[in-house]
């Protein structure tokens, strides 16, 4: 009898505990205490950056899973699907293998850039500094830089972008196809990471959020163009490349230098406290990094412009090559094709 009473008591306590847990969960959901307040403001501190290495580890894990589950299957369907039942040469098999590798790389970049652009716009579009650059430095109220608070959603955006660029530096060295613009790409990634870290520590995250919003949009068109080109399509790569070139010119050669850089170089002088050592130091370091980024933009635009001119001169349309970064394999393949054509002409 005693054991039976003890068992019933334990069951009662267990049931009471379960009901209490469900009650607490229901209360938390009603009060939304389980969900972070993305509008909550706080000071940006160096200690916030301790999460960057952890966030950087998330990206290769996500990419690996997408590679195996999604990108690999899509690539085989669009690239090798139509030749699976045919007898093809060893060279064609190797060419398809290289295309599949590049297809998976572009798929990953397309997913990231699209996600990053949507996230950056969600964080910044309703902020006053998204349309008026003076609010980079002032507001709300009587606050002036560096006496500024940032919202939790902006901290998340910085963690997301910072983690990606930490990962990208290592991916560029050890994972992705080595391309002819490796040095320029590495310079871009290192400069971007330095800008993210420095602007966060220097309480210049408002500017950084707009820089992130400006940068990722055009890359989506580029990666869509690459994906469709590797899949053997013609029209979509042409349209994607045109949209990529137009968006690159507008976002990185007009808005970035004449809106963002203008504010950091000239408008900021109205609000810097010359009595503070940090003011002038941050001014020169931050603008040096931004100008370095702009130099990379100009270099890549020269390559884009040459590509446009070459395609128009050769075929009268932009359809054969939608790339901003030609890799060594492709270059050697093109040279082999030219040698074969030259040999054929000589024989004729």
Q: What is the DSSP letter of 271?
A: T
pLDDT of residue 206: 94
Mean pLDDT of 77-83: 70
Say whether pTM exceeds 0.85: no
pLDDT of residue 319: 43
Dig out the tokens for 41 from the structure: 């403001």
Is a pLDDT exceeding 80 seen at residue 63? yes
Average of per-residue pLDDT values in the chain: 80
Is a pLDDT exceeding 90 seen at residue 135? yes
Dig out the tokens for 141 from the structure: 């109220």
CA distance 298 to 345: 39
Determine which helix (DSSP H) or strand (DSSP E) holds 42, and give its type and residue range.
strand 41-42
Is a pLDDT exceeding 60 seen at residue 318? no
More confident residue, 230 or 2: 230
pLDDT of residue 280: 75
Torsion angle of C-alpha atoms 281, 282, 284, 285, degrees rounded to 10: 110
Kindly report each contact of residues 227-236 with a partner whose C-beta sits within 8 Å and lies 24 or more positions away, as own/partner: 227/103, 227/106, 227/107, 227/110, 228/322, 229/321, 229/322, 229/323, 230/75, 230/78, 230/79, 230/99, 230/102, 230/103, 230/106, 231/78, 231/79, 231/103, 232/78, 232/79, 232/82, 234/319, 235/319
User: Length of the chain in residues, anyone?
Assistant: 348
Is a pLDDT exceeding 50 seen at residue 282? yes
Is a pLDDT exceeding 80 seen at residue 83? no
Distance from the first to the final alpha carbon of the chain = 107
pLDDT of residue 27: 56
pLDDT of residue 62: 94
Q: Where residue 17 falls among pLDDT bands split at 50, 70, 90?
A: very low
Q: Beta partners for 138?
A: 144
Report pLDDT digits (tens) over 41-55: 888 888 888 888 888
Is a pLDDT exceeding 80 seen at residue 76? yes
Report pLDDT digits (tens) over 167-213: 999 988 888 777 777 888 888 899 889 999 999 998 899 999 999 99
More confident residue, 275 or 246: 246
Is a pLDDT exceeding 90 seen at residue 161? yes
**Lowest mean pLDDT across 129-138, 248-257, 329-338:** 329-338
Q: Residue 144: phi, psi to the nearest 5?
A: -135, 155
Is a pLDDT exceeding 80 seen at residue 6? no
Dig out the tokens for 291 from the structure: 């100008």
Is a pLDDT exceeding 90 seen at residue 33? no
Domain boundaries, the chain: 53-338
pLDDT of residue 165: 94
pLDDT of residue 4: 54
Q: Where residue 218 falls among pLDDT bands split at 50, 70, 90?
A: very high
CA distance 333 to 98: 11
pLDDT of residue 153: 94
Q: Where residue 316 falls among pLDDT bands split at 50, 70, 90?
A: very low
Is a pLDDT exceeding 60 seen at residue 340? no
CA distance 328 to 334: 10
Is a pLDDT exceeding 50 seen at residue 320? no
Mean pLDDT of 277-306: 87
pLDDT of residue 8: 53
Q: What is the DSSP letter of 128?
A: G
C-alpha to C-alpha distances, 7 to 10, 15, 21, nearest whole angstrom: 5, 12, 21
% of the chain with per-residue pLDDT over 90: 40
User: Can you list the alpha helix ranges (DSSP code H) found in the chain?
Assistant: 2-31, 52-66, 72-75, 90-124, 152-174, 182-201, 205-215, 217-230, 235-250, 262-265, 278-315, 328-347
Mean pLDDT of 275-288: 77
Mean pLDDT of 315-324: 46
Contacts of 227 (CB under 8 A, 6+ apart): 103, 106, 107, 110
More confident residue, 19 or 120: 120
């Amino acid at each position: 009898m005693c054991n039976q009473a003890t068992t019933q008591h334990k069951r009662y306590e267990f049931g009471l505990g379960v009901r209490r847990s469900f009650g607490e969960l229901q209360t938390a959901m009603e009060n939304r205490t389980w969900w972070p307040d993305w509008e909550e403001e706080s000071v940006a501190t160096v200690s916030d950056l301790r999460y960057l290495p952890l966030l950087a580890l998330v990206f290769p894990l996500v990419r690996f899973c997408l590679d195996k589950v999604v990108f690999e299957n899509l690539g085989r369907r669009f690239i090798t699907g139509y030749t699976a039942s045919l007898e093809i040469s060893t060279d064609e098999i190797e060419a398809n293998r290289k295309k599949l590798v590049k297809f998976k790389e572009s798929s990953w970049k397309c997913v990231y850039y699209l996600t990053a652009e949507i996230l950056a716009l969600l964080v910044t579009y309703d902020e006053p500094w998204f349309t008026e650059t003076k609010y980079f430095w002032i507001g709300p109220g009587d606050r002036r830089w560096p006496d500024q608070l940032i919202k939790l959603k902006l901290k998340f955006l910085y963690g997301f972008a910072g983690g990606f660029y930490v990962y990208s530096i290592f991916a560029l060295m050890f994972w992705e196809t080595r391309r002819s613009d490796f040095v320029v790409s590495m310079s871009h990634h290192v400069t971007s990471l330095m800008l993210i870290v420095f602007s966060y520590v220097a309480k210049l995250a408002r500017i950084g959020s707009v820089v992130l919003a400006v940068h990722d949009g055009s890359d989506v068109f580029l990666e869509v163009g690459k994906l469709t080109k590797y899949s053997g399509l013609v029209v979509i790569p042409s349209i994607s490349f045109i949209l990529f070139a137009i968006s690159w010119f507008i976002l990185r050669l007009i808005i970035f230098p004449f809106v963002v850089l203008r504010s950091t170089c000239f408008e900021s002088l109205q609000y810097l406290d010359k009595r503070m050592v940090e003011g002038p130091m941050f001014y020169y370091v931050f603008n040096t990094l931004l100008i370095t980024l702009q130099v990379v933009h100009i270099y890549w635009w020269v390559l884009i412009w040459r590509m446009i001119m070459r395609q128009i001169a050769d075929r009268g349309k932009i359809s054969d090559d939608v790339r901003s970064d030609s890799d060594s394999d492709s270059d050697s393949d093109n040279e082999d094709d030219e040698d074969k054509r030259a040999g054929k002409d000589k024989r004729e």
